[in-house]
């Protein structure tokens, strides 16, 4: 079948809107007509390092158009959010931790199905697809039964795609990962979609103080309007010294949401004894950090890598939808809509800090 897609053409190159071909769904697959797809920083990170041409996009929301013969979870007409793929059978998946699937790369970043077959073609030639088991910068996507999540039809579907990655990563890293208690100090480094979603979750729990570190004034202001008690500009002050001044002993929890190794070092250094640093940001491949091991040892500091907010998508995404519907997770306040053919403008607005969460409305 023909679909319209935004094709990634290489580092810093604009996306091109083209008509390409998508495979028919296999027995475990679901064909989704996308309504809207969020742009996550990880898409831009991937655009610069993966083979091209490629169709990225991993925060899709849409309506099921067709299902393979073995699919039981959804039916045509269902509203769905697409999230990350997993194998369902490895030791992590068996242990209920699909976010650390042993085959995460094959299901999310290999550019094809895990068996190597392409899902997308242009003029008969394979295109890098199946990104996060979806490739949803397109009018349609092929997902699998493991990464589609049915959502209630009363919810505004066009806003929900980011629940499949950025929002669940931030909110889940707090609610499922760090699990801070009310009254505990928490620092968020990087107030993009991920960091701001973490702040919304920490505010619901009642963490105090919540401290947001970001060089962009509008992002610090947004963080404060969503529940942070303090905003720190790391270009104007040493964030570690300021966090210690605000908290006394340091923070019990810190989340690194920038992907910058030196910021991770700050997120570890600002912790109080028994503190935990959650690592979310994706640094360039091969990055290392310099950590004072005596500080780690003497204070019992823990470092917790966090993928996709350690979210069990079938339960957590509908829970996030409920929080949004109840006015407790105001993701509409950080979102801005574009059409698919405005993708390059949306990317520029995101990279320059003007838009927090760009969402692309799909043709048709």
Q: Give the footprint of Zn ion on this chain (CB under 5 A).
A: 40, 42, 86-87, 90, 93, 101, 165
Q: Decide whether 147 or 269 has the Cβ nearer to Zn ion.
A: 147
**Structure tokens that stand for 142 in this block:** 């092929």
* Count of beta carbons in the 10 Å neighbourhood of residue 132: 29
* Count of beta carbons in the 10 Å neighbourhood of residue 356: 22
Q: Binding residue for ligand NAD (CB under 6 A) from 215, 231, 261, 318? A: 215
Q: Choose the contact partner of 90 out of ligand NAD, Zn ion, none; CB within 5 to 8 A by kind.
A: Zn ion
Q: CA-to-CA distance for 37 and 138, rounded, in angstroms?
A: 8
Q: Decide whether 307 or 362 has the Cβ nearer to ligand NAD.
A: 307
* E-assigned strand segments in the chain: 2-7, 16-22, 29-38, 60-67, 79-82, 120-122, 125-127, 140-144, 148-150, 186-189, 210-213, 230-232, 251-256, 271-279, 302-305, 335-339, 357-361
Q: Choose the contact partner of 87 out of ligand NAD, Zn ion, none; CB within 5 to 8 A by kind.
A: Zn ion
Q: Decide whether 61 or 165 has the Cβ nearer to Zn ion.
A: 165
The verdict on 313 binding ligand NAD (CB under 6 A) reads no
The verdict on 257 binding ligand NAD (CB under 6 A) reads yes
Residue span binding ligand NAD (CB under 6 A) among the ranges 11-19, 62-70, 111-119, 212-220: 212-220
Range list of H helices, 226-259: 239-247
Q: Binding residue for ligand NAD (CB under 6 A) from 8, 187, 191, 240? A: 191
Q: Binding residue for ligand NAD (CB under 6 A) from 98, 164, 166, 278? A: 166
The verdict on 211 binding ligand NAD (CB under 6 A) reads no
Whether cis (ω within 30° of 0) applies to the bond prior to 114 is no
Rg (Cα) of the chain, in Å, rounded? 20
Residue nearest to ligand NAD (CB): 192
Name the one residue in this structure whose structure tokens are 């204070």.
299
Residue 254: partners with Cβ closer than 8 Å, 6 or more residues away: 186, 187, 188, 189, 267, 268, 270, 271, 275, 276, 277, 278
Q: Choose the contact partner of 269 out of ligand NAD, Zn ion, none; CB within 5 to 8 A by kind.
A: none
List the x/- string, 291-310, binding to ligand NAD by CB under 6 A: ---------------xxx--
Q: CA-to-CA distance for 83 and 58, rounded, in angstroms?
A: 7
The verdict on 190 binding ligand NAD (CB under 6 A) reads yes
Binding site for ligand NAD (CB under 6 A): 40-42, 45, 165-166, 169, 189-195, 213-216, 219, 234, 257-260, 263, 280-282, 306-308, 353
């Amino acid at each position: 079948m023909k679909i319209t897609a935004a094709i990634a053409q290489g580092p810093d190159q604009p996306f091109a809107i083209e008509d390409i071909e998508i495979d028919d769904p296999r027995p475990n697959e679901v064909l989704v007509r996308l309504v809207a797809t969020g742009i996550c920083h990880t898409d831009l990170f991937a655009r610069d390092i993966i083979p091209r041409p490629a169709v990225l996009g991993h925060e899709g929301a849409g309506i099921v158009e067709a299902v393979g013969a073995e699919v039981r979870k959804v039916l045509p007409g269902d509203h769905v959010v697409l999230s990350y793929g997993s194998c369902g059978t490895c030791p992590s998946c068996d242990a209920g931790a699909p976010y650390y699937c042993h085959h995460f790369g094959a299901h999310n970043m290999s550019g094809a199905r895990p068996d190597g077959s392409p899902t997308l073609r242009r003029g008969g030639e394979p295109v890098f697809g199946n990104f996060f088991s979806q490739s949803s910068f397109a009018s349609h996507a092929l997902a699998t039964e493991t990464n589609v999540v049915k959502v209630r039809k009363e919810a505004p579907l066009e806003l929900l795609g980011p629940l499949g990655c950025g929002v669940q990563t931030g909110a889940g890293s707090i609610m499922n990962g760090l699990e801070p208690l009310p009254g505990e100090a928490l620092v968020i480094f990087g107030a993009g979609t991920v960091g701001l979603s973490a702040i919304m979750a920490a505010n619901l729990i009642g963490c105090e103080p919540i401290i947001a570190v970001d060089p962009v004034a509008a992002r610090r202001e947004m963080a404060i309007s969503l529940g942070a008690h303090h905003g720190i500009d790391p270009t104007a002050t040493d964030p570690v010294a300021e966090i210690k001044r605000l908290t006394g002993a340091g923070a019990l929890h810190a989340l690194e949401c920038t992907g910058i190794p030196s910021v991770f070092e700050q997120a570890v250094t600002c912790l109080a004894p028994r503190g935990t640093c959650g690592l979310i940001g994706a640094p360039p491949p091969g990055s290392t950090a310099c950590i004072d091991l005596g500080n780690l040892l003497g204070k019992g500091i823990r470092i917790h890598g966090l993928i996709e907010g350690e979210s069990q998508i079938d339960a957590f995404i509908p829970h996030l939808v409920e929080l949004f519907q109840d006015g407790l997770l105001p993701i509409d306040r950080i979102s801005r809509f574009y059409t698919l053919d405005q993708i390059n403008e949306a990317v520029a607005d995101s990279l320059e800090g003007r838009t927090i969460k760009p969402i692309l409305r799909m043709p048709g």
